[in-house]
Amino acid sequence: MITTGILYSQGIKMSDVLIISHPELKQDVDPKTFQSFITDQLFPELSKNGVGTSYHLFKADRGNEKGKFLLVRAIEKSKGGKSAGAGSPVDLVGSGNEGLEVLVSNPQAFTEYHLIGADMIGSLPNSGILGLHYIKVKKERAADFEKFVVDKLHPAVSKLFPDMQLLYYKAVAGENSGSYLTIFTIDSPKARDKYWPEGAPETDVLKKTFKPLEGLAKELGTYLVEGSYLEPSSGGAAAYWESKVWTDFIHSRFLQ
């Protein structure tokens, strides 16, 4: 994994601004060929430009988009909450971009997300897994929801565990502009297994941590479109917090 002069041993250093792309590989493209092109050719070229930016490749191992890739560009705070105007996370004129167009059908697709109430949050974590939960907020309650995130949600869950946090982002540009995203930032696959082990029930430590947050979770539910979130009847510890549309993307550092 290559960044602009900084190597994060546990993956991506979370940022106030994330530019995310879901590349659609062309039918005849081998995933390993794509992965090698991104990490060995494109990212080194991109990383020559600008300080305060890093580039990351992820691959989904759980959820709705299992097996697909994710490209993320992390940028330092955008001034005044305005769009960084950076376009695709791999927006580059020249051979790098042309190479990407050979491999994927949507090289310029992206969504730019800003961390809600970023000024109220201290240091952000490194993350080896991004659990992307595509939450659906009622349109008429969007402004109130953002205030709710700043006043109540982030203070409660942005430091949930030392190795797992929940961060709320708003899309300000690109394909999903106006939507919201909850990111479960998890340190590593090993850390995730402490809470959601593969093929086994969620752990007691997860249940005990979310239990005192049940009231806050119910309040969160009033802002969300009914049927879009994990219902309490499921028995899941993170009812309301989890979206029914979600994917865990693992950082290329952990890929074989």
pLDDT (tens digit per residue) in 165-195: 999 999 999 999 999 999 999 999 999 999 9
Residue 154 reports pLDDT greater than 80: yes
Q: Spell out the domains of the chain, with CATH numbers in brackets.
A: 12-187+245-254 (3.30.70.100)
- pTM of the entire structure? 0.91
Residue 26 reports pLDDT greater than 90: yes
Mean pLDDT of the chain: 88
Q: How, if at all, do strands 17-21 and 69-75 pair?
A: antiparallel
pLDDT at 48: 75
Q: Say what percent of the chain tops pLDDT 70.
A: 86
Torsion of CA 37, 42, 45, 50, to 10 degrees: -150
Q: Which residue has the higher pLDDT, 256 or 141?
A: 141
- The residue-averaged pLDDT of 85-104 equals 62
pLDDT at 44: 83
Residue 63 reports pLDDT greater than 80: yes
7 confidence band (pLDDT: 50, 70, 90): very low
pLDDT at 100: 81
Closest CA to 164 of 23, 11, 41, 1: 11
Three-state SS string across the chain, please?
A: CCECCCCCCCCEECCCEEEEECCCECCCCCHHHHHHHHHHHHHHHHCCCCCCEEEEEEEEEEECCCCCEEEEEEECCCHHHCCCCCCCCCCCCCHHHHHHHHHECCCCCCEEEEECCHHHCCCCCEECEEEEECCCECHHHHHHHHHHHHHHHHHHHCCCECCEEEEEEEEEEECCCCCEEEEEEECCHHHHHCCCCCCCCCCHHHHHHHHHHHHHHHHHHCCECCCCECCHHHCCCCCCCCECCEEEEEEHHHCC
